[in-house]
Amino acid sequence: MRDRILNYRNRIDNLISMNSRETDWDKVIAEHLIQIGFFQHERLIHWLVTMLFALLTFMAVGIYLITGAVYVLALIGILLVLLVPYIMHYYLLENETQRMYAQYDVMLELKKEREEGWDSIED
């Protein structure tokens, strides 16, 4: 998923920076909204999983503090090994989705500028 979202965002960044006359912004914007929806869904799922692992980790720490059972430390270690990558992945999804929102705004502006340019040519 990491490669997919980064490659997609870079592809859109390239389209925006080139701002070619051949770019059909209506199609690109429609595709972009679909991709944002996919990544939002992925972000929600990862947020839920991350919160579950965080809750389980805090519960395990609480159990350790109450009981002092050393074997609970192994569970805490396993949960932390899983929790840290989940947090890192969620961080990536969150930030990239926010960047995609900014890309959407830029694409709308480019589309508007192009349409205004065509209106002035027709006058």
From CA 107, how far away is CA 15, in angstroms rounded? Answer: 9
How confident is the model at residue 107, as a pLDDT?
Answer: 96
How confident is the model at residue 122, as a pLDDT?
Answer: 52
Contacts of 97 (CB under 8 A, 6+ apart): 36, 39, 40, 43
- Written as tens digits, the pLDDT of the chain (123 aa) is 899 999 999 999 999 999 888 899 999 999 999 999 999 999 999 999 999 999 999 999 999 999 999 999 999 999 999 999 999 999 999 999 999 999 999 999 999 988 887 655 554
How confident is the model at residue 123, as a pLDDT?
Answer: 47
* Tokens representing residue 27 in the block: 């199609």
Nearest to 90, CA basis, from 117, 37, 53: 53
From CA 68, how far away is CA 88, in angstroms rounded? Answer: 30
From CA 58, how far away is CA 76, in angstroms rounded? Answer: 9
DSSP, res 1: -
How confident is the model at residue 20, as a pLDDT?
Answer: 87
